[in-house]
Amino acid sequence: METSEAVVTYGAHEVEWITISTDEYESMRRTIEILSDRDLMEQIEEGKKDGAKVMDFEELASELGI
């Protein structure tokens, strides 16, 4: 995903609105959704503590024999 620059509009010396790309908005929305999910955040922290292995799709497919 490429990031784009925000377009900031000022009125009466204060920011009235900021325009960002749809991709950036969706990414931020998903991030907030994940950070707001206590159960998911606990699972992520447990995985970090347990040293959970991360693998890419090719590794997983090979391990599963698909």
What's the pLDDT score for residue 42?
92
Whether 1 maps to a domain, the answer reads: no
**Residue 8 or residue 46, greater confidence:** 46
Whether 18 maps to a domain, the answer reads: yes
**Distance, CA of 46 to CA of 39 (rounded, Å):** 11
Average of per-residue pLDDT across 25-50: 91
Report the number of distinct structural domains present in the chain: 1
Instruction: Provide the residue range defining the domain that includes 40.
Output: 7-64
**Distance, CA of 52 to CA of 46 (rounded, Å):** 9
Whether 51 maps to a domain, the answer reads: yes
Whether 2 maps to a domain, the answer reads: no
Whether 26 maps to a domain, the answer reads: yes
How is 24-56 classified by DSSP, letter by letter?
Answer: HHHHHHHHHHHHH-HHHHHHHHHHHHHT-----
> What pTM value is reported for the model?
0.53
Whether 52 maps to a domain, the answer reads: yes
Average of per-residue pLDDT across 31-49: 91
Confidence of residue 2 (pLDDT cuts 50, 70, 90): low
Whether 34 maps to a domain, the answer reads: yes
| Percentage with pLDDT > 90 across the chain | 35
